[in-house]
A and B are shown apart, each in its own frame.
Chain A
Amino acid sequence: KAGVTQTPRYLIKTRGQQVTLSCSPISGHRSVSWYQQTPGQGLQFLFEYFSETQRNKGNFPGRFSGRQFSNSRSEMNVSTLELGDSALYLCASSLGLSSGGADEQFFGPGTRLTVL
């Protein structure tokens, strides 16, 4: 069974630009969660999508947005990039069980974004 895939693996952008990252979940998984990982803040939750709907959102500014398609693939977008957005962006897929917590998340390899 193929794992979670993320594209691209590496990105270099300049301040003020926007970027779109893509995530393909494990086959059969309907939930996709996005996280930002930095040395200072660790792994922080951005948002979660299930059946094309955002069910949960973390404490990030509106410049961070996402969407999910009918095949469960997901994209996240960051507009007006800032230097502080440099990070590893990880997505995780799961079955999306309604109980919320009883839902194992499997992570992709991440997209490393560098903002110059």
Chain B
Amino acid sequence: QKEVEQDPGPLSVPEGAIVSLNCTYSNSAFQYFMWYRQYSRKGPELLMYTYSSGNKEDGRFTAQVDKSSKYISLFIRDSQPSDSATYLCAMNKGGGTSYGKLTFGQGTILTVHP
């Protein structure tokens, strides 16, 4: 079983919809949680970065972390066709044994159609 599980989709929504993307994880040592967006033939781009449980908002994006349930979410409000991409969750345990090591979910392919 993978340490981080993410529904690969694909997910297709109309423009303007609210999108909910989720990941679950099994290792309670994860402390830092990230969401990346990856367009086709590009490298991942960091969207959101959160530490421990709670919410963080940045424009149309909201990240939620629930450590008690080992569950993280990314919400996209007023989705646009330009949001069409693969969304990857990533996690890090922190501390010396985790230098540079992000553990990723499989990625969810999102298409926002006009």
Are the CB atoms of A45 and B106 closer together than 8 Å?
no
Q: Which residue of A has the minimal Cβ distance to B105? A: A42
Q: Is chain A's binding surface mostly helix, strand, loop or mixed? A: strand
Q: Give chain B nearest CB distance to A31 CB in angstroms.
A: 6
Q: Which residue of B has the minimal Cβ distance to A49? A: B100
Given contacts A100-B94, A105-B46, contact A48 B101 (CB under 8 A): yes
Given contacts A45-B101, A45-B102, contact A101 B94 (CB under 8 A): yes
Q: Flag the segment in B37-45, B55-63, B72-80 that touches A.
A: B37-45
Q: Which residue of B has the minimal Cβ distance to A58? A: B101
Name the residue in B45, B51, B102 with the highest tally of chain A Cβ atoms < 10 Å from its Cβ: B102
Q: Give chain B nearest CB distance to A93 CB in angstroms.
A: 10
Taking CB atoms, residues of chain B closer than 8 Å to A92 are 100, 102
Are the CB atoms of B32 and A56 closer together than 8 Å?
no
Q: Give chain B nearest CB distance to A56 CB in angstroms.
A: 4
Compute the total of residue contacts between A and B using a CB distance below 8 Å: 89
Are the CB atoms of A101 and B100 closer together than 8 Å?
no
Interface size (B, Cβ < 8 Å)? 30
Q: Say yes or no for B21: interface residue by CB 8 A criterion.
A: no
Q: Give chain A nearest CB distance to B28 CB in angstroms.
A: 14
Q: Which residue of B has the minimal Cβ distance to A108? A: B43
Given contacts A90-B44, A107-B44, A107-B45, contact A31 B88 (CB under 8 A): no
Are the CB atoms of A42 and B99 closer together than 8 Å?
no
CA distance A52 to B90 in the complex (A): 25
Q: Which residue of A has the minimal Cβ distance to B101? A: A45
Q: Which residue of B has the minimal Cβ distance to A47? A: B100
CB-CB nearest 8 A-B residue pairs: A48-B100, A101-B94, A107-B43, A33-B100, A101-B32, A43-B104, A55-B99, A101-B92
| 17 sample A-B contacts, Cβ–Cβ < 8 Å, listed by A number | A31-B100, A33-B101, A42-B105, A42-B107, A43-B104, A45-B101, A48-B101, A90-B43, A100-B92, A100-B93, A100-B95, A101-B31, A101-B98, A105-B100, A106-B46, A107-B43, A108-B43
Binding site for A on B (CB under 8 A): 31-32, 34, 36, 41-46, 49, 51, 88, 90, 92-107
